[in-house]
Amino acid sequence: MKKDFFSTKLAEDVLATFSSFSPINQEVVTLEEGLNRVLAKDFYAPEDLPGFCRSTMDGYAVKAEDTFGASEAVPVWLTVVGEIKMGEVPSFTLKRGETVRIFTGGMLPEGANAVVMVEHTQLLDGTTVEVFKPVAPLQNVILADEDFAKDSLVLPKGHRLRPQDLGVLAAFGQQKIKVYKRPLVAIISTGDEVISIQENPRPGQVRDVNSYTLSALVEEAGGIPLRMGIVRDDPKALRSVCQEAIARADVVLISGGSSVGMRDFTLDIIKSFPESEILCHGIAISPGKPTIFARVGEKAIWGLPGQVASAIIVFFVFVRRFIQWIGGERHFPLKAFKTIKARMKTNVPSVQGREDYLRVRIMQEDNTFWAEPILGKSGLINTLVKADGLVKIDWSSEGLDKGEEVEVILF
């Protein structure tokens, strides 16, 4: 009987090998191109923001002391000496008993230290206003350095830029930003049975699903896909395409290799490159066990299972995080969450000693999410089309019970 030739690693040990890879190069992009890019250096505030003292309300800028004791019954009367124009520096200094009309975002004049909301005032004539409520110093005011103080850390290196982060960079006038390059990921589809999507398959042939699925997964992970086409089950052809892929890309994905022979020679081909090292050959997860992870110098090679569902799950659990890692992202644990809590609709047995990734569909009933397992063979793509996400069954678990709460990683 054929023995198991895999030297299998636990999932966490595979993830631990990532740290031996450094982030790839950096580049400068415009702010408009910055969404979802990863900052390549800490960004410190070059100046105070907003840089001047602003009103947060429509109302009247005052010396707070002048309003102390004001009430509906005994209002305070102040002399209106003008109106603050938006975007302009007030040309006067407020004296005791004086006030100016001000709008949200307007700059406080010298001598003012608070703003009374317009709702708590009544204009008697062009020059006198009644104030019905006192304000404390600094009330309804943003200080010059209240948003960010000069030299404070605004965004750390390794942070993926969200819309609000671009907003703050705009506020500081950063037209260009230094980010990590998007990892270039070469995708090689292998198999004598695989044809291009332009062709009509004869019985026995299938169209190239993995190139399209993996390209889109690479895009989602922040990488740039580079399709290398379909390679026949021929060691020479595969080695030559691999060599080109290693030269051009940061990461090489080889999918397919469906025959046992092909799997064997994929490993031999990787070993044949100088500076190559097999980091893992087999991972204790299901589906996805026959995964290869190797390095050739600073470049990484992933040999993915040929079964389409297995390839997608291995990508989701490992390759995606790897692309984020070499793309310099260091805050991904929280950002990567795209999960919901749900309860299992049925019991699901599992085998101890490996992580199982169960495809599930989510249903909402009585304000609860229910996760229904989508069972099916790894060679079928319909299970992933019907599924909303994956549930991880820990390697030490014997399975999930009906009603048990689980975390679903959403697609």
Looking at residues 50 to 89 of the shown chain, list those that interact with its own copies (rule: CB under 8 A): 50-52, 54, 56, 58, 85-89
Of residues 29 and 118, the one with the C-beta less far from its own copies: 118
Of residues 193 and 404, the one with the C-beta less far from its own copies: 193
Residue numbers 275-334 binding its own copies by CB under 8 A: 306-308, 312, 334
Of residues 296 and 309, the one with the C-beta less far from its own copies: 309
Per DSSP bridges, beta strands 184-190 and 251-255 are parallel
CB of 8 to its own copies, least distance (A): 15
Of residues 299 and 324, the one with the C-beta less far from its own copies: 324
d(CA 131, CA 75): 5
Residue of 107, 116, 238, 254 that binds its own copies (CB under 8 A): 107
Check binding of 91 to its own copies (CB under 8 A): no
CB of 35 to its own copies, least distance (A): 5
Residue numbers 250-269 binding its own copies by CB under 8 A: 258-260
Residues 6+ apart with CB under 8 A from 309: 287, 359, 376, 377, 378, 379, 380, 381, 383, 384
CB of 381 to its own copies, least distance (A): 5
HEC string for the chain: CCCCCCECECHHHHHHHHHHCCCCCEEEEEHHHCCCCEECCCEECCCCECCCCEECCCEEEECHHHHCCCCCCCCEEEEEEEECCCCCCCCCECCCCEEEEECCCCECCECCCEEEEHHHEEECCCCEEEECCCCCCCCCEECCCCCECCCCEEECCCCECCHHHHHHHHHCCCCEEEEECCCEEEEEEECCCEECCCCCCCCCCEECHHHHHHHHHHHHCCCEEEEEEEECCCHHHHHHHHHHHHHHCCEEEEECCCCHHHHHHHHHHHHHCCCEEEEEECECEECCCCCEEEEECCEEEEEECCCHHHHHHHHHHHHHHHHHHHCCCCCHHHHCCCEEEEEECCCEECCCCCEEEEEEEEEEECCEEEEEECCCCCCCCHHHHHCCEEEEECCCCCEECCCCEEEEEEC
CB of 345 to its own copies, least distance (A): 15
Of residues 241 and 384, the one with the C-beta less far from its own copies: 384
Question: Which span (15-23, 242-250, 336-344, 348-356) binds its own copies, by CB under 8 A?
Answer: 336-344
Residue numbers 188-247 binding its own copies by CB under 8 A: 191-195, 197-217, 219-220, 233
CB of 334 to its own copies, least distance (A): 6
CB of 181 to its own copies, least distance (A): 20
188 touches 301 (CB < 8 A): no
Residue of 111, 340, 372, 404 that binds its own copies (CB under 8 A): 340
* Residue 306: Cβ-neighbour burial (10 angstroms; 0-12, 13-18, 19+): buried
Check binding of 21 to its own copies (CB under 8 A): no
Count the residues of the shown chain that bind its own copies, applying the rule CB under 8 A: 106
CB of 203 to its own copies, least distance (A): 4
Of residues 203 and 274, the one with the C-beta less far from its own copies: 203
Of residues 15 and 362, the one with the C-beta less far from its own copies: 362
Residue of 46, 377, 401, 403 that binds its own copies (CB under 8 A): 377
Of residues 34 and 327, the one with the C-beta less far from its own copies: 34
CB of 379 to its own copies, least distance (A): 5
CB of 238 to its own copies, least distance (A): 14
Which tokens sit at 279?
Answer: 């980091």
Check binding of 341 to its own copies (CB under 8 A): yes
Of residues 169 and 242, the one with the C-beta less far from its own copies: 169
CB of 32 to its own copies, least distance (A): 7
Residue numbers 135-154 binding its own copies by CB under 8 A: 142, 146-148, 154
Of residues 196 and 347, the one with the C-beta less far from its own copies: 196
